[in-house]
Copies of this chain bind each other. A is one copy, B any other.
Amino acid sequence: MTKIRKFNLNEQEMPTQWYNIQADMPNKIQPLLHPGTKQPIQPGDLEALFPRALIDQEMSADRNIDIPEEVQELYKIYRPTPVHRAHNLERILDTPAKIYFKNESVSPPGSHKPNTAIPQAYYNYKQGIKKITTETGAGQWGSALSFATSFFGIQCKVFMVKVSYEQKPYRKSMMQLWNGSVIASPSMETNAGRDILAEDPDSPGSLGIAISEAIEVAATHEDTMYSLGSVLNHVMLHQTIIGLEAEKQMEMAGDFPDLVIGPFGGGSNFGGLSFPFLRYNLTRGNKTRCIAVEAASCPKLTKGKFEYDFGDSAGMTPLIPMYTLGHKFIPPSIHAGGLRYHGAGAIVSQLLQDGLIEARAVAQHESFSAAVTFARAEGLIPAPETAHAIAQVIREARIAREEGIAKTILFNFSGHGLLDMAAYDEHFRDVQSKEAAMHLSGSLLTNLVTPRV
Report A's interface with B, CB cutoff 8 A: 1-6, 8, 10-11, 69-70, 73-74, 76-77, 84, 88, 106, 108, 110, 125, 147, 150-153, 155, 169-170, 173-174, 176-179, 372, 375-376, 378-381, 418-419, 421-422, 424-425, 428, 445-446, 448-453
Contacts and interface: CB of A to CB of B under 8 A. Distances in A.
Contact of A177 (B5, B151, B372): B372
A182 to B, nearest CB: 12
Contacts of A452: 151-153
A379 B422 contact: no
A355 B401 CA distance: 63
- Output the residue of A6, A69, A170, A445 with the most chain B CB within 10 A: A170
Contacts of A108: 379-381
Given A2-B151, A4-B74, A422-B170, A178 B453 contact: no
A301 to B, nearest CB: 30
B375 A153 contact: no
A8 B6 contact: no
B151 A453 contact: yes
A4 B73 contact: yes
21 contacts: A2-B73, A4-B74, A8-B8, A77-B84, A108-B379, A108-B380, A150-B376, A150-B449, A151-B379, A152-B451, A153-B450, A153-B451, A155-B449, A170-B418, A173-B424, A174-B421, A178-B375, A179-B445, A179-B448, A418-B419, A419-B421
Given A151-B379, A152-B453, A419-B421, 19 more contacts: A3-B73, A4-B74, A8-B8, A77-B379, A108-B379, A110-B418, A125-B453, A150-B379, A151-B453, A152-B451, A153-B449, A173-B421, A174-B381, A176-B445, A177-B381, A179-B445, A179-B446, A179-B449, A418-B418
Contacts of A378: 77
Contacts of A174: 381, 418, 421
Interface centre among A6, A106, A381 (most CB of B within 10 A): A381
Contact of A178 (B73, B376, B418): B376
Nearest to A155: B449
A212 B27 CA distance: 70
Contacts of A11: 6, 8
A80 to B, nearest CB: 9
